[in-house]
Amino acid sequence: MSLNTTPSLRSGYLAKDVVNTDLRIEYAHLREELERLLTQPEKDFQRIDALVDQLELVQLAYKEQHGIKGNNPNE
C-alpha cells in the first residue's frame, strides 16, 4: 500500500482532503499506526518509511496553518 505524498498546491504540504481534517487528529492517528507497525515482529519498513514521511507532511501543514516557521517557537 503506497501513500500519495505529492504536495497539494493549496497547502504546499498535504492533499486537499487531509488539509480539511483536524491535523492534530490526523497526526495522532498516524503516530498510533506507526507505533503499531514498530511493535510487529516482522517490520514493514516500506510502510514505516511512508508513515514517517506522512507525519512530517502533517507536521509541516500544522505549522503552516498556525504561522509557525522553523523549529524556534519564539519566531
pTM score, whole prediction: 0.68
pLDDT attached to residue 65: 85
Summarize pLDDT for 20-75 with one digit per residue, the tens: 568 999 999 999 999 999 999 999 999 999 999 999 999 988 888 888 877 766 65
Range 7-29 average pLDDT: 67
The DSSP call for residue 10 is: T
How far apart, in whole angstroms, are the C-alpha atoms of residue 16 and residue 62? 13
pLDDT attached to residue 6: 44
**Dihedral, CA of residue 62, residue 11, residue 33 and residue 70, to nearest 10:** -40
